[in-house]
Amino acid sequence: MGRLSPTVPKVLRPHPAVYPLRLYGDPVLRRKANPVSDIGALVSVPGFEPVGLRQVANALLETMFEARGVGIAAPQVGLSTRLFVAVEYEDDEEESEHQDTPLRSKVLRDFVMVNPVLTITNKKKDDTQTEGCLSIPNIYEEGVKRNRAVRVDYLDLDGVPRTVEAEDYLARVFQHEIDHLNGVLFLDHLPASVTDEYRKDLSALQRQAKANLKELEG
């Protein structure tokens, strides 16, 4: 038996201001995320140096703003942790002619939720609003049934228990992000025929997700 080759430690990249997004087909998007047991501990987004949860949350917000989203969950950047961020803007719908407008200037409230627990407060369903996902770019669909009102109990970044109630669009955002923490995507709420309609686009995303993972692991 020959000598064992020395193990070369993997060089981690510095923590970024904006994360690369994980795309449809990436296995992390289908895992149930782990609860945060120590809010002060360092966490490791795969491929990057360990940092505190607050730094992760700040980068998540910047990633969301750059992608012109309303929310993003930690698994969407490869971190299988029960954390998401979201914002409430001055208006709910993006205006395509104002794509150069900094979204930060439109924020009414932002939310950073650790270990969120969802309670439905109005079971009436709404399926009239268009929904999309930063991990499934350029695919938008109506018909996703969401509860009209919810309450979310969570910890903030200081470990303090908080509660927020939301209706309509913001309630939809919270339900979408908590779905991510449970490995569920918005397309899962739609008939299989919808996914079939986008089969070519989704296959392309899967190929890109695989290539991205290979680059990250390299």
pLDDT at 86: 98
Q: What is the pLDDT of residue 8?
A: 45
The residue segments making up the domain with residue 146 are 27-90+101-217
> Phi-psi category of 211—alpha, beta or left, where left has phi over 0 and alpha has psi -120 to 50?
alpha
Q: Is residue 95 flagged as an active site residue?
A: no
Q: Name the catalytic one among 62, 93, 167, 177.
A: 177
In this structure, is residue 48 part of a structural domain?
Answer: yes
Q: Which CATH number does the domain housing residue 32 bear?
A: 3.90.45.10
The H or E element spanning position 63 is helix 53-66
DSSP secondary structure string for all residues of 102-170:
-GGGGEEEEEEEEEEEEEEEEEEEE--S-EEETTEEEEEES---EEEEEEEEEE-TTS-EEEEEEEHHH
Confirm whether 58 is domain-assigned.
yes
Taking the alpha carbons at both ends of the chain, their separation in whole angstroms is: 28
- Residue 176: burial class (beta carbons within 10 Å; 0-12, 13-18, 19+): buried
105 in any annotated domain = yes
Q: Are 83 and 113 in contact (CB under 8 A)?
A: yes
The answer to whether residue 73 is domain-embedded is: yes
Determine the pLDDT at residue 216. Answer: 83
Note whether residue 8 is domain-resident: no
Question: What pLDDT score was predicted for residue 105?
Answer: 84
Paired strand residues for 111: 86
Question: Could you give the number of structural domains in the chain?
Answer: 1
In this prediction, residue 91 carries a pLDDT of 72
pTM value? 0.91
**What one-letter code names the amino acid at 61?**
L
Listed in sequence order, the residues at least 6 apart from 90 whose beta carbon sits closer than 8 Å to its beta carbon are 106, 107, 108
pLDDT tens, the chain, 218 aa long: 555 555 544 678 899 999 999 999 999 999 999 999 999 999 999 999 999 999 999 999 999 999 999 999 999 999 999 999 999 998 755 444 456 678 888 899 999 999 999 999 999 999 999 999 999 999 999 999 999 999 999 999 999 999 999 999 999 999 999 999 999 999 999 999 999 999 999 999 999 999 999 988 76
- Asked if residue 15 is part of any domain, the answer here is no
Whether residue 1 lies inside any domain: the answer is: no
Q: Is residue 83 part of a domain?
A: yes
CA 45, 133, 163, 143 dihedral sign is: negative
Task: Determine the Cα–Cα distance for residues 35 and 196; give it in Å rounded to an integer.
Answer: 34
Q: How many residues does the chain have?
A: 218
| Burial grade of 151 (CB within 10 A; 0-12, 13-18, 19 or more) | middle
